[in-house]
């Protein structure tokens, strides 16, 4: 089994051809490497090689699926940007917040007067 990385080809100008090549490579890996390990079972019906492979895989990727990772993503994607936004809205005695509120009020008041037309 390839250790720790996938060997994907660089994208070509012909995406359909590239997709076919990628699919062929995946099918070959399944047929030549994964399936033989999975079906190599002992008298109890257990594939120790498969179990070892899965344990190794979980050990390598588990770090990507932890609560710490989830919280870090939440902080970076939502909490920190929102904190920055709130700080900007509060600056200069809430001047940006007031401008935003005024704009929303004008849009709401004029909403019924909006018409679409062909260009």
Rounded to whole angstroms, the maximal C-alpha distance in the chain is: 78
Query: Could you please report the per-residue DSSP string of 18-82?
Result: HHHHHHHHHHHHIIIIIHHHHH---TTS--HHHHHHHHHHHHHHGGGGSHHHHHHHHIIIIIHHH
User: Which pLDDT score is estimated for 12?
Assistant: 53
Residue recorded with tokens 């080809």:
9
Residue recorded with tokens 């070509």:
12
pTM of the model: 0.43
Judge whether residue 111 has pLDDT over 70.
yes
pLDDT > 90 fraction of the chain, expressed in percent and rounded: 66
pLDDT in tens, 10-50: 555 688 888 899 999 999 999 999 999 999 999 999 999 99
User: Which pLDDT score is estimated for 13?
Assistant: 63
Residue recorded with tokens 């704009």:
103
Q: Alpha-carbon distance 18 to 9, whole Å?
A: 8
Judge whether residue 117 has pLDDT over 90.
no
């Amino acid at each position: 089994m390839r250790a720790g990385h996938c060997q994907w080809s660089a994208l070509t100008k012909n995406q359909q051809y590239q997709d076919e090549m990628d699919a062929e490579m995946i099918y070959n890996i399944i047929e030549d490497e994964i399936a033989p390990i999975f079906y190599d079972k002992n008298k109890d019906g257990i594939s120790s090689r498969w179990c070892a492979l899965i344990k190794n895989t979980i050990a390598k990727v588990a770090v990507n699926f932890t609560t710490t990772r989830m919280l870090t993503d939440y902080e970076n994607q939502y909490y920190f940007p929102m904190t920055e936004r709130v700080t900007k809205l509060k600056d200069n005695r809430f001047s940006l917040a007031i401008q935003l509120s005024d704009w929303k009020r004008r849009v709401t008041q004029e909403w019924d007067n909006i018409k679409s037309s062909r260009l």
